[in-house]
Structure 1
Amino acid sequence: MATPNTSRPGRALAVFALILVALVGGMFLRGTTEPKLGLDLQGGTSVTLVPRGDAAVTDDNLTQAVNIIRQRVNAFGVSESEVTTQGGRNIVVSVPGAGQRDLVELVGQTAQLRFRQVLQEGGPLPLDAQQPPDPAATPGASPEPTKTAKPGRTAKPDRTPKGTASPDATGEGRVLTRALQAQAVPSPTGEPSPSEPGTPPATAPVQPPVPPVEQDPAAQIPEEAQQRFADLDCTKPENRQGGEDVAADQVLVACDREGSSKYVLAPAEVLGGDVTGARAELSQSTGGLGGWQVSLNFNGEGTRQFADLTRTVWQLPPPQSQVAVVLDGLVVSAPVIQEPITGGQAQITGNFTQEESQDLANVLQYGALPVAFDLGEVNTVSPSLGGEQLRAGLLAGGLGLLLVVVYSVLYYRALGLVVVA
């Protein structure tokens, strides 16, 4: 005779209790003992992003921008956010929680990353506000830099800094870079001075062939850019807002993020679209861990272009041996290239905090927006609408439970009380 199966409800209850304890314990271990509320229940910030100027906006561009912004928001760990279009041109970003305006502004930035060679570097103040250079610092140098520093007047005789381009002659308040001074100062006639009679050949090395003026990086600076560089005041916050819409094949005049320097930059050689990955990490130094930086990986085309750029600049004198990392029209860093970089990787440094480096990596990870946006209307979303819905739901649930109790008592009578209990 077969033994009847014995019901063991205790096992099922024990398994259920273990699952419940694990869920509650995990909640306390993460420190999240309160449920995360959505935008309608918690409130938050809503920002409208408006296309800059008269930029042509297509449906494809708008859809791509919405997807990129949504990926950026999700990368910051924000739940229940909303990214929608409005009127066929604008994008509305709504994020739950108070004080989220900075986050919305961050995910809405264009994140146009470009690598440009530095052609000229100077202090943050306009040239007429800086200390005039000492004429005795460089004998024979003209006191008017705009007359002696125009590229294209004379060919560059040597790519190595000479005595006429000493640090004293290019100190703070001096406009001329060492490369530009090397053009203007060698001799009044623009020709190399002949060797003195009797000088041993060892002390008079043969000068390399003079490159054409078109190959001189400084010759790429148009007069308009020189004037903008002279007038630019990087101590003013409005000049450090970034977002300047300059084509990649044009010369750019820009400030750095801190407002401590300004630059004339060559046309971009490497674009942000060639970046395949970005991550925040601590830099390695001889003394251990250094500061925070953002490491980039390039695709095949970006690797080749970045290698060509570093091969071109690494033997030039500063500042032309520097490559500026430009994000939305602002110089993040401008390191000196010590040797060609051919491995398809680069680092962005700039005295970042951990949060700043992670934010920058998240923004760059998903690429630049196809259209530049400006902040439009900024609203604080009230949780009143969600609160009313929550109260209405609780009221409906309570009434439904009461009707079930009444029906159970009327139909089952005494057993109905057992069912309700």
Structure 2
Amino acid sequence: MAAPKKGRRSPGAHGKPGRSLILILLVLGGLTGGMFLSGHTTPRLGIDLAGGTSITLEAKNQPGKADAINPTNMKTAVGIIERRVNGLGVSEAEVQTQGDRHIIANIPRGTNEKQAREQVGTTAKLAFRPVLTYAPSTPQPQPSPSKPGGEKGEQGEQGDKGDKAEQGEKGDQGRAVTDDLRAAPADEDKPSPKPDQTKPPTTPPQQQQPPGVTPELAKKLQKIQCNTKEQRAKASEQAAATEPDEPIAACDAKQRLKYVLGPVGVDGKNVTDAKAQFDQQRGQWIVTMSFDDKGSKAFGDTTGELAKKQQPQNQFAIALDGEVVSAPSVNQRLTANAEISGSFTQESAEELGNILSYGALPLTFEESDVTTVTAALGSDQLQAGLIAGAIGLALVIIYLVAYYRGLSLIAILSLLVSAVLTYTLMSLLGPAIGFALNLPAVCGAIVAIGITADSFIVYFERIRDEIREGRTLRPAVERGWPRARRTILVSDFVSFLAAAVLFIVTVGKVQGFAFTLGLTTLLDVVVVFFFTKPLMTVLARGKFFSSGHPWSGLDPTRLGAKPPLRRGRRSYAVSTDPKEA
């Protein structure tokens, strides 16, 4: 075989291995630094390792609503259940769908199980309460010039720009902060009057103390904060525990606003139907709702009183578990049928319609399974998994040292780099995407040890094959890489494809195994390309490996190498040992 011409690199040559090594070391340093700076220095543990309670809820069909079990309603239910769990002061709880009719709520240890079971899956408290006053949760430099939520610098300007204010923290609702509550077309005897444009007082509501706001309520309004999820959860828990005939201080679910609300005017259970509709005349989404006889009377009496008042006391807040989900203004007396209009998107209109129609949860759920995992059991499982992983890693290292000798140093360093990458990514993915390390995920990491070691073995055997053909080490390293690279990529692609299919078609804890297997498979490609191959290229230039030291694992004599190939001659001799295709 003709030797490569001078000035031309052999196929697959790695021109500047130092750059690749520096790059991966920088990535390692960045991920490690990010892990310590974020404060999440350990992976988030799943319920089977950390201990806690797992509650499985099954959605049930309701009479007359056979098609109620659908992805939209299941998504709404997950959001409401998650909000309730957070209201218990639970951190790092998981609420997710399983299949098309099950929801699993995994609540870590440290939570009252009885209280959690009472909160999860039960119909929440939905009530209509009149707004007495409001205030921004964070003090503003200037008072609001218009309706609640129009504060400049936090929710945007009033007028046309105010339609974007509802986006608040989430930015996905696309609904005005103060909607209009008016009679539905079938219930109107005359056109609805224009919304009241009377400007509110120039002093902050909590300082002015409007009618109905006692000094005690003003102090509550000033005290509560609604800036973070934890603060809103605490405020809603206190408000939900208040009796219906007492006023409350409550947070807005989407914005940094807080309200003082009067006693319950209409109970949520009196809503007979509510749904999102697209108004063709106005070209916008609206929410229509209707009440039973008792609710219709109470709704008419309350809206009649509110219509006589000025902003913001003409608003009727819809409170879900003590948290305001909407606060439309009222300009006329309404009875059995009404509609809420504003800058709704289809998604936000359907969400509000679900909340109103089904009394918070859009579906009826029953507990199908409740599992309690003790912290001791989770600790034992984790310890057993780590011991199994350590034994497997030790056996792999013993095999590499015994068979590959000096080459085992490269394999061990590569395994160490892969382990650091895996650990830091798992620690960072916990707060980023909610990844939790459960027992199947630990099994996936253990399986990944064999997959990663297999890639090194493929490359080492390609190099040894080239040395058996009579080539020196440096050409053997570069000529063996293209064939090894192709084999490694095919093998890792099959493993990643299996992990992806498993992740898509399975649910629950098995997804943890599939996710970890897929992640470690991708990291195997990164480590082999950016660390193992460049490091092998660098070490091949050293005397220990290039001279074929007996302990290098590349001794030509031990490998049964042929005489060195000469220039200008093509060897056609066939080795007696079978070679890999």
Q: How would you bin the TM-score normalised by the shorter chain? A: 0.3 to 0.5
Identify the structure with the greater strand proportion: 1
TM-score, normalising length: structure 1: 0.44
Q: Which has the higher helix share?
A: 2
